[in-house]
C-alpha cells in the first residue's frame, strides 16, 4: 500500500468525526509508520476548524497547496 493510501486510510478509520484540528493532529501523530517529516507537514498545514469527515481534512489540506 502506498504511503498516501495508508495516510488516507488512517484519516478515514482512526479519527472520530466530528473532530477539531487538535484531535485530528493528535490522531495522526500516532501513525508511527509515517515519516515524522510527513506528520510535521500535516500538523503545520492543517487549518484550525472542526472536520466532519476525512474528506473535509483532505479538502482543507489541498487548499493549502
pLDDT per residue as tens, the chain (65 positions): 467 777 888 889 889 999 999 999 998 877 777 788 888 888 999 999 999 999 999 999 998 77
**Alpha carbons 39 and 31: distance in angstroms, whole number:** 8
The three grid cell numbers given for residue 64, joined into one nine-digit string: 493549502
Q: Is the pTM of this model over 0.85?
A: no
22/46 Cα distance (integer angstroms)? 9
Structural domain total, the chain: 1
**DSSP assignment letter at 2:** -
Query: Residue 33 sits in which domain range?
Result: 3-62
- DSSP class of residue 1 equals -
Amino acid at each position: 500500500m502506498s504511503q498516501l493510501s495508508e495516510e488516507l486510510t488512517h484519516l478515514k478509520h482512526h479519527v472520530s468525526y466530528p473532530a477539531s484540528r487538535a484531535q485530528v493532529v493528535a490522531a495522526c501523530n500516532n501513525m508511527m509508520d509515517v515519516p515524522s517529516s510527513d506528520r510535521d507537514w500535516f500538523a503545520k498545514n492543517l487549518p484550525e476548524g472542526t472536520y466532519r469527515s476525512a474528506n473535509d481534512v483532505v479538502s482543507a489540506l489541498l487548499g493549502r497547496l
